[in-house]
Structure 1
Amino acid sequence: MMPTPVGWHVEVEFTEDDRHTRAVALVRLSDGTEVRAHGHASRHRADARQPRVGEEVAAARALNELAMRLLDKAHGEIDEASGRVSHPIHV
């Protein structure tokens, strides 16, 4: 039997002002669960205005937090199903 392909789409939205970029990352899992995380970047006054760089930094931080939340969620489900405590490894 061929495995059924499964995919997730991750959305990242930004809000920005002259010095700050905030990112919200959202993934909708196949069971309908949504996992959301936030990231932030600040531009130093002396740095040139480069909105794309702020977006990349804020998005990377949001996606990193999203990854940690997904790991925590998965370990919670392992614990619940197995009746024991798993040990998530956070890198």
Structure 2
Amino acid sequence: MAHTVEWTVRLHLFEEEGTTKARVMLDTGTTELVGHGVAHRSPDDMDVPEIGDELAAGRALHDLGRQLVRVAAQDIETVGAAGTGRGDLPETGWPLTDQAPGG
């Protein structure tokens, strides 16, 4: 059975005096999650706002991803599905194999 949905993600970046803050909001239609990330520029570093944006956004997305995996783990428990035996949360990223992805 085909399943197609659209989720809305909004990413906001705020920079002030060498600190960049990011807030990413996910709306699935049934769940809303918010991730946060911060990047601090060293006073000795060049002022390159894009780097702060990338770091803060990446950290906010990582925070959001952890929350989403936690919600999935709770949903798995709610429906009574058997665990994988690999820890508390569902596996993320590429599966561990002897070959690199696509190889």
Normalising by structure 2, we get a TM-score of 0.76
* Equivalent of residue 52 in structure 1, options 27, 34, 50: 50
2:78 is aligned to 80
Deviations 1:28-78 (A, max 9, x none): 0132x2100100000000111111110110000000010000000010111
2:22 is aligned to 23
2:40 is aligned to 42
8 Å Cα contact 1:68/1:90 also seen in 2: no
Q: Structure 2: which amino acid aligns with 1:34? A: E
Give every structure 1 segment of 4 or more consecutive aligned residues whose post-TM-superposition deviation is greater than 4 Å.
Answer: 83-86
Question: How much does 1:83 deviate?
Answer: 7.3
Report the identity percentage: 29
In the alignment, the residues of structure 2 paired with residue 38 and residue 68 of structure 1 have an alpha-carbon distance, to the nearest angstrom, of: 11
**Unaligned 5+ residue runs, structure 2?**
94-103
**Unaligned 5+ residue runs, structure 1?**
none
In the alignment, the residues of structure 2 paired with residue 43 and residue 16 of structure 1 have an alpha-carbon distance, to the nearest angstrom, of: 10
Q: Which has the higher helix share?
A: 1
Say what the alpha-carbon RMSD is for the aligned residues. 2.0
Normalising by structure 1, we get a TM-score of 0.85
Q: Structure 2: which amino acid aligns with 1:29? A: T
- The alignment partner of 2:46 has SS state of coil
1:14 aligned to 2:13?
A: yes
8 Å Cα contact 1:9/1:27 also seen in 2: yes
Q: Structure 1: which amino acid aligns with 2:32? A: E
Give the number of aligned pairs: 89
In the alignment, the residues of structure 1 paired with residue 3 and residue 77 of structure 2 have an alpha-carbon distance, to the nearest angstrom, of: 26
